[in-house]
Amino acid sequence: MAAQMVVLPVPLSGKFKGSFAYDTIKDRLPQILTRVIDTLHRHRNEFFEEHGEKGIEAEKKAIAYLSKLRNELQTDKLLIPLNDNLPDTALWNQYLEYQQNLSYGPPSWFKSPWLYVECYMYRRIYEALVQNGTQSNLQHHSPFPFYSYNSLPVSSPISDFDVFKEEKVQGFFESQQAIVTLSTYFQELLKNIADLDEKRLQEEFFKLLQVSLWGNKCDLSISGGKANSQKSDPLQSLEKLKSFILVDHMENIWSLLINQKKMNSWSSTRIDMVLDNAGFELTADLVLADFLLSSKLAAEIHFHGKSIPWYVSDTTNHDLNWTIKQMLSANHRWMSKCGVSWEGNMKNGVWIYHDHFFWTLPHEFSSMAQVAPDLYAELQKSNLIIFKGDLNYRKLTGDRKWDFTVPFHQALNNFHPAPLCSLRTLKSDVQVGLKPGEGQQLMNTEPDWMIIGKYGIVQFDAAS
């Protein structure tokens, strides 16, 4: 069947004054750059101890570069090509050329699509750290031919410094009580999981799916890097939060998984999780993944994270390994038990981590089949792809000014590698798949409903 042509609305952009995109580019992005500059400055002595004068020189150059970048952003300068010769540099520069050929005018911070310029800023932050580093040929960092930066030797002494690590670590430790509560609940549940009937199993699945959903509130790029952790009991508040789930397709997801299990094909059921934030959200995602294996709703879980530090709190391979180690060594019985189990899952190959530089490109996901056919082919092997968080939703829907009632399937713009769902708390002004009048009613009663993280969705697309 021929691919259906979709008339695409315009992208969200800083050129719409008073929009959330405009406020983000004007206020939040410069704040994040200022915090990055401050972080590098505070680690000056550490760079000197590890790398001598070369470390100090790299830190100075990075700060000068980032200060210039902040000025470019604040004065709406034209976007410039990347110059660091990393595996994705050519793709970024091709995308800049593509933007130059569109009708929005020459690409600049406030006039170009918000999704593009925000991703571009984080990629430029990484360029500040690797500038003047030398690159070897592309290598693999995965059991599959997924390309990443991580195994590429870069000569810049601060190229592997995560400018957002402190905030991510702080977010994890400030959420400690919530993590203890969730770990305790889960380990108690595991004792009887084999005896649960279908109704009770469904209840527990819905519960942990919602914990994973609301864990997405803890987003450090939204708070400009300021503390934003999970302090309350993540299970106790679920009933109260239920009314704030605007699209609830949990039944559809359950039907898909339980039918696989009933057909005895769970042993080949693969679930992919495209991760979002580290900290409490990642811990909630790992509990959900453990539940899916333990309840025989899946046989293997494939995690997808970012190759480089991204959107302040997004999960990298280092963050995932660090989180499992923290759980493992925690001075709490059930946290530690989770850590032991999760480390075992990684070693036994039933949990598999991938990174691919497509996740840190500016492209919407409808371009994946063309730009990263290897990744698209890998996702086609999945029985269910769970996309976590706001940025993934923006890329799923192209971050456009869609009408609220447009079907999710249509907004995906022919991105259908496998059945997929989005678990997202709303923190940007794009949302589709609402009932007629629902979006307008929310606009009337709560004008900022799309950006405050109060509302959530569990939105499913069957991919057929």
185 plus 324 within the same structural domain = yes
Q: In CATH, what number is assigned to the domain containing residue 58?
A: 1.20.930.60
State residue 43 phi and psi, 5-degree precision. Answer: -95, 10
Q: What is the pLDDT of residue 6?
A: 61
Residue with structure tokens 């020459």? 106
176 plus 109 within the same structural domain = no
For residues 145 and 112, the answer to whether their CB atoms sit within 8 Å is: no
Whether 159 maps to a domain, the answer reads no
Last residue of a domain, one of 64, 99, 130: 130
What distance in Å separates the CA atoms of residue 448 and residue 446, rounded to the nearest whole number? 6
Q: Give me the amino acid identity at 165.
A: K
109 plus 196 within the same structural domain = no
270 plus 399 within the same structural domain = yes
**Neighbouring C-beta atoms of residue 217, cutoff 10 Å:** 21
Cβ partners under 8 Å of residue 390, min gap 6:
216, 219, 222, 276, 424, 425, 426, 427, 428
Structure tokens at 69: 């970048």
What distance in Å separates the CA atoms of residue 324 and residue 322, rounded to the nearest whole number? 6
Q: What is the pLDDT of residue 440?
A: 96
Structure tokens at 198: 């279908």
103 plus 212 within the same structural domain = no
Helix axes 280-294, 333-348, angle to 10 degrees: 70
Q: 290-320, pLDDT tens digit by residue?
A: 999 999 999 999 999 999 999 999 999 999 9
Q: In CATH, what number is assigned to the domain containing residue 321?
A: 3.40.50.10880
Give the distance from CA 342 to its chain's centroid.
20
Whether 355 maps to a domain, the answer reads yes
What distance in Å separates the CA atoms of residue 418 and residue 392, rounded to the nearest whole number? 16
Whether 157 maps to a domain, the answer reads no
Whether 97 maps to a domain, the answer reads yes
What distance in Å separates the CA atoms of residue 179 and residue 177, rounded to the nearest whole number? 5
HSE, CB side, 13 Å, CA atoms: give it for residue 162.
21
Q: What is the pLDDT of residue 264?
A: 79
For residues 161 and 309, the answer to whether their CB atoms sit within 8 Å is: no
186 plus 122 within the same structural domain = no
For residues 460 and 419, the answer to whether their CB atoms sit within 8 Å is: yes
Mean pLDDT by 10 residues, the chain (464 residues): 67 93 97 98 96 95 97 98 94 96 87 97 97 46 43 72 96 93 97 96 98 82 51 86 97 97 87 97 97 97 97 97 98 97 98 96 98 98 97 98 97 97 96 97 96 96 86
Q: 131-149, pLDDT tens digit by residue?
A: 865 443 333 333 333 445 5
453 plus 334 within the same structural domain = yes
123 plus 215 within the same structural domain = no
Last residue of a domain, one of 130, 154, 183: 130
117 plus 184 within the same structural domain = no
103 plus 44 within the same structural domain = yes
Whether 140 maps to a domain, the answer reads no
Q: What is the pLDDT of residue 74?
A: 98
Whether 186 maps to a domain, the answer reads yes
Structure tokens at 158: 């601060």
> What is the count of structural domains for the chain?
2
Closest CA to 412 of 379, 366, 370, 367: 366
State residue 375 phi and psi, 5-degree precision. Answer: -70, -45
What distance in Å separates the CA atoms of residue 105 and residue 306, rounded to the nearest whole number? 31
Whether 192 maps to a domain, the answer reads yes
Domain range holding 108?
A: 20-130
261 plus 349 within the same structural domain = yes
Whether 44 maps to a domain, the answer reads yes
104 plus 185 within the same structural domain = no
Rounded (5°) CA angle 387-391-393: 50
SS3 content of the chain, % helix, strand, coil (to 5): 50, 10, 40
Q: What is the pLDDT of residue 140?
A: 33
Question: For residue 248, what is the DSSP state?
Answer: E
Going by their DSSP bridges, the two strands 456-461 and 420-425 should be labelled as: antiparallel
